[in-house]
Structure 1
Amino acid sequence: MDFAFSAEDEVFRREVREWLGGHLSGAGDRRGWEKTLGQGGWIGLGWGEAGYGNRTVSLTQQVVWAEEYARSGAPPRSGHIGENLLAPTLIAHGSQEQKARFLPPIAAGEELWCQGYSEPGAGSDLAGVRTKAELGGDGSYRISGQKIWTSLAHEADWCFVLARTEPGSTRHRGLSFLLVPMDQPGRIEVRPIRQLTGTGDFNEVFFDGARAEHVVGGAGNGWTVAMSLLGFERGVSTLAQQIGFAAELGRVVQAAVKSGTVADPVVRERLVRQWAELRAMRWNALRTLGRSGDAGAPSVAKLLWGGWHQRLGELAMQVRGAGAGVGPQDWSPSAPYELDAFQHLFLFSRADTIYGGSDQVQRTIVAERVLGLPREPKGVV
């Protein structure tokens, strides 16, 4: 299989590099940066539909953009959830009115989104959601319940929420996919969750009669829409993620050389294994990119990179040795909580095999949907 890019792709790559090189100096404000990307036409490249203020390019050029963005050191995207999750879902399941209302502001970088899926007691088992939404006389829903691990909820203008709209329904039935404005004082409360790394990009979100007018895919069809959205979650962005992984691995290799631990044959073998596995992940991602109907591909990809990144964090600590557990020299109990890059990598990567669908859930999907093994009994601990 030929994994090379075409001459047209390389021309596009130069355009991307030049644009990023000329605009990154003004990328300090994340919301402002989203608007800059929108003005440049760089949001919505993979939507497959133009006319919403975006431009469309080929699949390989989407890969070029994602990889060059990661390689340039540009800031993390605040608009990722709206652009890469909600927008393709609206294109597949939304009405023309919903697409006309929500896609242009996403393409312009003017409206940011968060995802209201996980709940306490219903994380990887998404069908167990208990957040409820009751239909009012005005045709809108009133939402009550709690979501958790909601990325960027403290910045978002809107949230797409999976809620139970049919009283008495269970599991996959009776769910609806609702679009909820976050600016509802007294009806929506966002509480940041402090992580081991000291940061707080994840949040708890409490809904107390929050109003939602828009239902995507029709009432009661939320599970179908939600599963469709998860299929968009692991696409081109996986290849961009691997650029960041390669940079992290390079820094671990440099640290091993500097500290002399590279002379240890065990460390050297682990470094080579990490490099080889990363190459295999890239080839697998390119092989499966754009293929439809492969139910196991997203789960296999998640299993591969989650475990790989976690092992890299452990290797970073091994390379650093005893000093890995020591904070800054001027640290004191009253000082800010600070971590160096390797400590942050190790602590954050502990969650890699849990968030976005735990390893156990991914293995169950592969077993049942790909290998055709008997379904796992429900209610067994």
Structure 2
Amino acid sequence: MNLQLSAEDLDFQQQVRRFFAEDYPLDIKQKIARGERLTKADQVRSQQALQARGWLGIGWPKAHGGPGWTPVQRYLFESELELAGAANIIPMGVIYLGPILAAFGSPEQQQRWLPNILSSTHFWAQGYSEPESGSDLASLRTAAVVDGDDYRVNGTKIWTTQGHWADWIFCLVRTSRGGRKQEGITFLCIDMRSPGVSVQPIISMNGAHELNRVEFDNVRVPQCNRIGEEGRGWHYANVLLGNERLSYAHIGKKKADLARLRRLASKCRDGVGGIMLDDPLFAHKLAAMEVRVAVLEVSVLRGLSGDLPPAAISSLKIQCTECAQGITELFTELAGATAFPDMNCSDWFARLGATPAFVVKAWDDYLFERAQSIYGGTNEIQRTIIWRALEAG
């Protein structure tokens, strides 16, 4: 494919770059740069700043409030957002659900939910994974039984990102047990304020509260909250997962992280007094990662153009998540070598106060990114998808 940017794309890139430099909330960028976690109010302000330009609904048709960008413009926008150090869009409502509603939702559902996603007045959670099911979505047991004009929903969803912020949750639920296990699954939207919905926090190993366990105890959900046809949830979910797995690319962030890593390595000294960037092994690892990210960039552009089959998207998910983890490993290697300039730790506590600021964030990011190869379908599941595609010829 032609990766040469047109004059129109270059102009668009400059518009986006100016926006993040001049009009985006500066305090949010500063908070991110310090390694602080954003609040829900921060995320709302960030997304509303994007929507003030009509730039929030990436991947949406223009008729439903999307910006009408080409795949290359979408890529440029996401890259500039990350290179500027702005907050990523919370994906559940905007990137995952929005395109599904636009494609398969009824006019009433589109009118009811899409504007509130764009205004960031309603946040959404994703209810896919369940205890003891892992990435095997087809084995889900959360059941929805027809009861008059409603469904009665019972079951549990787990690893629900920002479920404690959510106003609504879209879930895969089982409405039938006949036939293949992929059949009889329905896509259902549930108001988190409904009686019988409870949210329990799951604290990650880096101390963050992003994940939750969501339980449904005889929750009544109107049948009009079902997306598409009953029993067709597996189809809609696979369309959504294609969008989700592409959203893990974050090429702009990877580039920004690698540039920062190179700057730090050119200044930081190792345990014997040398500059880390002069260490041949470290320099090789850094250069190899920069090459990997450059290759990924081409694949992501192809994916956004719709040129990649599902197995290739699975391959891209593996590469992107492993790259992200590899970058955090390089940061921790740099942190380990520079946190204490020599091996004499008799004044360990005195040295602790002088530890470079990036060290704490390096370990926090390392711990957080361990989950990348798990969520959105584990990398092992992605390899199975690739193998089955190869078997099918």
State the TM-score bracket (shorter-chain normalisation): 0.7 to 0.9
Separation (CA, whole Å) in 1 of partners of 2:228 and 2:307: 21
Q: In the alignment, what sits opposite 1:368?
A: 388
1:274-327 Cα offsets, whole Å, 9 max, x none, are: 111111111121233222561212101111112222222222222223666999
Note closer, same or farther for the CA distance 1:262–1:72 as it changes in structure 2 (3 Å cut).
closer
The answer to whether 1:43 aligns with 2:56 is: yes
Structure 2 counterpart of 1:180: 190
Q: How does the TM-score come out when normalised to structure 2?
A: 0.84
**Counterpart in the other structure of 2:282:** 267
Alignment counterpart, residue 221 of structure 2, candidates 212, 215, 221: 212
In structure 1, the residue matched to 2:292 is 277
* One-letter amino acid of the counterpart of residue 303, structure 1: I
Instruction: State the Cα distance separating 1:168 from its structure 2 match.
Output: 6.0
Deviation at 1:35, TM superposition (A): 2.9
CA deviation vs aligned residue, 1:89-130 (integer Å, no higher than 9, x gap): 112222222222221221222221110000111121111101
Deviation of residue 56 (structure 1)? Answer: 1.9
Match of 1:161 in 2: 171
**Deviations for 1:149-207, whole angstroms, at most 9, x for unmatched residues?**
111111111110001112566621211000111112x4111122111111111111111
Aligned residues: CA RMSD: 2.5
Aligned to 2:375: 355
Look up the match of 2:16. 16
- Cα–Cα, structure 1 residues 15 and 262, in superposed 2: closer, same or farther, change >3 Å? closer
Of 60, 64, 69, the match for 1:57:
69
Using structure 1 for the length normalisation, give the TM-score: 0.87
Unaligned runs of 5+ in 1: 332-337, 374-381
State how many pairs are aligned: 361
Aligned position for 2:87: 75
Question: Is residue 245–residue 376 contact of structure 2 (8 Å, CA) maintained in 1?
Answer: no
Amino acid corresponding to residue 203 of structure 2 in structure 1 = R
Q: 1:285 to 1:371 in 2, by over 3 A?
A: farther
Q: Distance in 1 between matches of 2:308 and 2:228?
A: 20
| 1:5 aligned counterpart, secondary structure | coil
1:1-381 aligned within 5 A: 1-20=1-20, 21-25=22-26, 27=28, 29-50=42-63, 52-78=64-90, 80-137=91-148, 139-167=149-177, 171-184=181-194, 186-213=195-222, 214-235=225-246, 237-238=247-248, 241-257=250-266, 258-259=268-269, 260-291=275-306, 294-321=309-336, 329=352, 340-372=360-392
Q: Secondary structure at the match of 1:216?
A: coil
CA 371–283 in structure 1, closer or farther in 2 if over 3 Å, else same: farther
- Tell me the CA shift for residue 45 of structure 1: 3.7
> CA separation in 1, counterparts of 2:391 and 2:3?
28
More helix by share: 2
The answer as to whether partners of 1:255 and 1:320 remain within 8 angstroms in 2 is no
Alignment partner of 1:352: what SS?
A: helix
The one-letter amino acid of 2:211's match is F
Give the whole-Å Cα distance in 2 for the aligned partners of 1:15 and 1:356.
32
Residue aligned with 1:197, SS: coil
1:216 to partner: Cα distance: 1.0
Q: Is the 8 A contact 2:58 2:95 kept in 1?
A: no
Unaligned 5+ segments in structure 2 are 29-40, 270-274, 341-347
Distance 1:370 1:289, change over 3 A: farther
1:55 shift after superposition: 3.3
SS of the aligned residue for 2:392 comes to: coil
Shift of 1:339: 7.2
Q: Residue type of the partner of 1:39? A: A
Larger deviation, residues 167-176 vs 292-301: 167-176
Separation (CA, whole Å) in 1 of partners of 2:103 and 2:307: 14
For 2:46, the aligned partner's letter is: W
Structure 1's 340 and 283: CA in aligned 2 closer, same or farther, altered over 3 A?
Answer: same
Give the conservation status (yes or no) of the 8 Å contact 2:325–2:369: yes
Alignment match, 2:37: none
Deviation at 1:348, TM superposition (A): 1.7
Letter in 1 for 2:45: G
Contact 1:53–1:108 under 8 Å retained in 2: no
Q: Answer yes or no: is the 8 Å Cα contact 2:173–2:185 preserved in 1.
A: yes
Tell me the CA shift for residue 8 of structure 1: 1.0
Moved more, 28-37 or 103-112: 28-37
Which range moves more in the overlay, 311-320 or 3-12? 311-320
Whole-Å separation in 1 of the counterparts to 2:308 and 2:296: 20
Q: CA deviation digits over 1:16-68, x for unaligned, max 9?
A: 23333213237572223333332331122421242x44432222221222111
Q: What residue number does 1:379 align with? A: none
1-structure distance, mates of 2:233, 2:216? 18
- Which sits farther off after the overlay, 303-312 or 221-230? 303-312
Which residue in the other structure is 1:376 paired with?
none
